[in-house]
């Protein structure tokens, strides 16, 4: 499930290893007439082979799946080298040996003008010194008014994603990252208490029903990410909304029971679909193009859909009719992501970098939009993918943002390991 942070995005972010894939083919003949073997080596530091193979089989990484199918891998599949540094990886590919054999175990890269602190160092005598990693990033949920004034909500000290305020404004459904899994939790804003909502598999993407009685969410409990619905009072059993071999992610409900969701496919990458949940349950594409679309948000009157698209070459916010034909209206002017409607439907919010933007919108009798204006600009957590990482209060006066809590950059200690290379040779020597 943690792949949702990476997948629903124009770019791929890796995890923690080096993967070597070799693709071979025949090039043009040399001067002596003999064919030339052309080898293309693809190295991707920051990825774990086991996770990449798993996700490729699930269909969420079509390009990588094609690489594995058309290329050549070893008898034991993809092999990782450690440490997973870029420079180390190139030595590993060039020599065909582990870092413990070829001796390259560290490198440092930085952009000119950036500050960089390398936390690991090695000596020629085989001594390693390192600064231990600190605690995992901690975040809090904070209220921010339209001028940028911040007040705490009481929820802090966890790793929070995708906060969603209930229709009555009393509770928040939010994805909480644990040690080994993600789950959806409910936070009571008045009482400042937590209650777990999911417990099986990895779970994310909470979505309130318009009446606030049920929550829709995504779970990988049956391998592929799929959508489930569950009443808050436990009066009915949990319901799987759609059974497919494609990962699906819920985003917006209409009042008459139509769900807007994002579906991932091998052919068109990421598209917006609808699911009718009446007597005849039926899923159908709403917007299916060669470009990446996401974050569909239905207007409160049910007539318009705001969404993010990379069609122009950068992510922008657009609005188009939910039913029938009509012209698409581009809302953002300098890039945008994370669209969210005000509850009265008169404003559309989105983020452009660290700036919270607002646009006045008229939806009747025809669609019209004003010029985007900046409300505030502060470095709250951004979604690198096409889903909102914030929400708006029912009265439209406050925004529930995810804030990284302050932490000290001063190292608590420096550890020194003697004869590290000899130990590495003993533990990581190839069979």
Q: pLDDT per residue over 60-116, tens digit each?
A: 677 777 777 766 565 556 666 666 666 667 667 666 676 666 666 565 443 333 344
Q: How is 364-391 classified by DSSP, letter by letter?
A: SSS-EE---EEEEE--PPPPSSSS-SEE
Q: pLDDT per residue over 198-254, tens digit each?
A: 988 899 999 999 999 999 999 998 878 899 999 999 888 899 999 888 899 999 999
| Nearest Cα to Cα of residue 84 among 51, 58, 112, 49 | 49
Q: pLDDT per residue over 346-369, tens digit each?
A: 999 999 999 999 999 998 888 899
pLDDT of residue 60: 67
Q: pLDDT per residue over 270-304, tens digit each?
A: 999 999 987 788 999 999 998 899 999 999 999 99
Residue 9 pLDDT exceeds 80: no
163 or 64, greater pLDDT: 163
Identify whether the C-beta of residue 57 lies closer than 8 Å to the C-beta of residue 264: no
**Average pLDDT of span 48-64:** 71
Class in CATH terms, 139-404? mainly beta
pLDDT of residue 279: 77
Between CA 316 and CA 338 the distance in angstroms is 10
Confidence of residue 153 (pLDDT cuts 50, 70, 90): very high
Strand partners, 140: 156, 403
> Under 8 Å CB-to-CB from 58, ≥6 apart: which residues?
223, 224, 247
> Under 8 Å CB-to-CB from 315, ≥6 apart: which residues?
10, 308, 309, 335, 336, 337, 386
pLDDT of residue 266: 75
Residue 118 pLDDT exceeds 70: no
Q: What stretch(es) of the chain map to CATH 2.120.10.30? A: 139-404
User: At residue 424, what are phi and psi to the nearest 5 degrees?
Assistant: -65, -40
Between CA 155 and CA 140 the distance in angstroms is 6
pLDDT of residue 368: 92
Q: pLDDT per residue over 180-189, tens digit each?
A: 889 999 999 9
Name the average pLDDT for the chain. 80
Between CA 201 and CA 196 the distance in angstroms is 13
**Average pLDDT of span 299-323:** 94
Enter the pTM of the model: 0.70
Cis peptide bond prior to 211, omega within 30° of 0: no
47 or 127, greater pLDDT: 127
């Amino acid at each position: 499930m943690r792949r949702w942070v990476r997948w629903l995005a124009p770019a791929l972010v890796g995890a923690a290893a080096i993967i070597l894939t070799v693709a071979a083919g025949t090039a043009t003949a040399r001067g002596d007439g003999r064919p030339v073997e052309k080898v293309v080596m693809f190295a991707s530091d920051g990825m774990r082979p086991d996770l990449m193979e798993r996700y490729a089989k699930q269909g969420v990484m079509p390009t990588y799946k094609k690489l594995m199918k058309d290329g050549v891998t070893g008898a034991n599949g993809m092999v990782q080298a450690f440490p997973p540094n870029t420079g180390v990886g190139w030595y590993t590919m060039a020599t065909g040996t582990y870092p413990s054999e070829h001796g390259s175990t560290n490198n440092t890269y930085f952009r000119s003008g950036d500050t960089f602190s390398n936390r690991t160092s090695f000596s020629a005598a085989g001594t390693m010194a390192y600064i231990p990693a600190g605690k995992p990033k901690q975040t809090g949920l904070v209220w921010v008014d339209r001028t940028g004034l911040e007040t705490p909500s009481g929820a802090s000290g966890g790793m929070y994603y995708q906060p969603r305020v209930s229709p009555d404004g009393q509770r928040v459904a939010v994805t909480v990252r644990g040690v080994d899994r993600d789950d959806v939790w409910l936070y009571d804003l008045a009482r400042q208490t937590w209650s777990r909502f999911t417990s099986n598999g990895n779970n994310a993407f909470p979505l309130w029903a318009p009446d606030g009685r049920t929550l829709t969410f995504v779970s990988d409990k049956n391998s592929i990410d799929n959508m489930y619905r569950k009443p808050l009072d436990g009066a009915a059993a949990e319901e799987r909304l759609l059974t497919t071999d494609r990962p699906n992610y819920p985003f917006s409900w209409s009042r008459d029971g139509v769900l807007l969701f994002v579906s991932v496919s091998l052919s068109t990458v990421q598209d917006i679909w609808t699911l009718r949940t009446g007597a005849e349950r039926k899923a159908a594409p709403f917007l299916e193009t060669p470009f990446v679309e996401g974050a569909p948000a239905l207007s409160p009157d049910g007539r318009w859909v705001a969404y993010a698209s990379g069609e122009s070459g950068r992510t922008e916010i657009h609005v188009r009719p939910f039913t029938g034909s009509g012209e698409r209206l581009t809302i953002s002017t300098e890039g945008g992501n994370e669209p969210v409607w005000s509850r009265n439907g008169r404003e559309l919010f989105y983020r452009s970098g660290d700036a919270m933007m607002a646009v006045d919108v008229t939806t009747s009798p025809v669609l019209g939009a004003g010029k985007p204006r900046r409300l505030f600009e502060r470095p709250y957590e951004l979604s690198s993918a096409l889903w909102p990482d914030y929400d708006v209060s029912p009265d439209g006066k406050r925004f529930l943002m995810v804030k990284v809590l302050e932490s000290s950059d001063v190292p608590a200690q420096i550890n020194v390991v003697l004869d590290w290379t000899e130990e590495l040779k003993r533990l990581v020597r190839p069979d």
